[in-house]
Amino acid sequence: MQTTEETREETAPAPAPRQYPERTGADRNTIYIGKKNAMAYVLAAVTQLNTGANEIKLKARGHAISRAVDTEEIIKNRFFPSLKIQQIVLSTEDVTSEDGRPSKVSSIEITLTK
């Protein structure tokens, strides 16, 4: 009598896809500027504008402020010359660093409308 051994590879279950909260209302057209290059945010903005949004907001803090301004200029000059800057809000936000110290970070919110 001949026996065969089956080998089974045990694999870890695939991680569940990341669940993001549904963005609604004005938040749906808000683009948060971070560490990616400006063209990544330009693509997001152009996509929003091409799918029917009449207004978008670009928000950034700290070192990303200049990237938000670059993003706005690229959108206006290359893709949507008719866009208008409706509002620019400059502010300072209180944040707590990883070691628990409070600090202040500059922020900008640029609102563009068709």
pLDDT in 10s for each residue of the chain, 114 residues: 555 555 556 666 767 776 655 555 557 899 999 999 999 999 999 999 999 999 999 999 999 999 999 999 999 999 999 999 999 999 999 999 889 999 999 999 999 999
User: Could you tell me the pTM of the whole model?
Assistant: 0.74
- The domain of 53 spans 26-113
Does any domain span residue 104? yes
Q: Does residue 3 belong to any structural domain of this protein? A: no
8 found inside a domain: no
Do the domain assignments include residue 15?
no
Q: Is residue 20 part of a domain?
A: no
pLDDT in the model for residue 6: 57
Contacts of 2 (CB under 8 A, 6+ apart): none
Whether the CB-CB separation of 58 and 110 falls below 8 Å is answered with yes
Count of domains for the chain: 1
Q: Can you give the CATH number for the domain in which 48 is found?
A: 3.30.110.20
Residue type, 89: V
Q: Is residue 7 part of a domain?
A: no
Nearest Cα to Cα of residue 45 among 67, 20, 17? 67
- pLDDT, one tens digit per residue, over 59-79 is 999 999 999 999 999 999 999
Q: Is residue 102 part of a domain?
A: yes
